[in-house]
Amino acid sequence: MMFTYLCILILTQCYPTVISEDNIDNDPASSLVRPEIWNWWDYSDGVSGPALWGVYFPLCDAGRFQSPINIESRYLSFDHQLTPIYMNNSENAHGTLHNDGRNLYITIALDSNRKIEIGGGPLQYRYRPVEIYIRLTPPSLGDDMPRGSEHQIDNRSFHGEIQLVAYNIDLYKSYIQAQTSPKGIAIVSSMLMLGGDASEQLRYVLHQAELLNNTQRPSDIELHNLDIKKLMAFSPEYMTYEGSLTWPGCFESVTWIIFNEYQQILSTYLQTLFPNILRFVTNRRSLVVGTSVHRNVRTNIGLRQWFRSTTPSSSSTCQPMNNVLQYQINDDFGISNS
């Protein structure tokens, strides 16, 4: 079950290279740096955490378009040209679920993702998914405040965040090249909150994650028959902004798309996964001080309320119905009101 978390108050007074499919690769992000550097970092508060990533990657400290950010609903910019995000051929994908000690993530098999494409909305090119990150934080005794998501909305975090990472296949020959290049990456995000049971696809992934601890083999499990679109709980309404990767490199090459719906998960998943299976304390980058200020975050939330037909018929000709849209977050993260 999914719920929206922004409600709408309507004021009713009146190096680019075109390449072939044959050379596409989706090597993991670790290929960007020397192994001794890549294996050094994590998301902790210590010497290997985000506070010192800038030693190797100056953008992590000096970048002005870093992610994640706190989205302030009152400053959202309504954009009626933001069409729904589409994903083609998302069914029956195959991948591998990994627990590398700092992340729980899925790599999508190359033979599965060659036909999968994402586009629409702010994306002017076609993007191909390569990885899915599941951001979670272990529950704290006596602490009911959610803390697992990277992004915040009106200074509120969620219990988790699932992020689909895709790269621009129109301009770049590989995931590696796209990460350091303009318009190279799109990350589609859905928030997670404790509550009812998860969707069928998310429940399948979390159940497989529970099994990671029950094998003597490396912490990898093959996943079959994934429906990525259902796993991500695609929604026609979302927020979008230009930002960065949230792992070392911190390259400002990302178009972020955050759906205005969250998915529910049972607290038992967190209790099972931590600390026996997932060995990290956290796998999210905290907000960079000042990174949210003056960021242009656009949204299409309220598109149906914003336009109305010019005739009683089913004509597709529409005109603006109101001059201003204002947004605020629901106190209970409940269903949005029109």
- The burial class, CB within 10 Å (0-12 / 13-18 / 19+), for 142 is exposed
Domains of the chain and CATH, by start = 15-307 (3.10.200.10)
Question: pLDDT tens digits, residue range 1-17?
Answer: 555 555 544 333 332 33
Nearest to 238 by CA among 68, 146, 135, 120: 120
Question: pLDDT tens digits, residue range 159-199?
Answer: 999 999 999 999 999 999 999 999 999 999 999 998 888 88
Tell me, yes or no, if 86 is annotated catalytic: no
Largest CA distance in the chain: 66
Question: pLDDT tens digits, residue range 41-97?
Answer: 888 888 889 999 999 899 999 999 999 999 998 889 999 999 999 999 998 899 999
Among 192-196, 199-203, 292-296, 317-321, the range scoring the smallest mean pLDDT is 317-321
Q: Count Cα neighbours of 271 within 13 Å in the Cβ-side half-sphere.
A: 5
Nearest to 112 by CA among 251, 227, 234: 227
Selected catalytic residue, list 172, 175, 238, 241: 172
Q: Are 62 and 186 in contact (CB under 8 A)?
A: no
| pTM: predicted TM-score of the whole model, two decimal places | 0.83
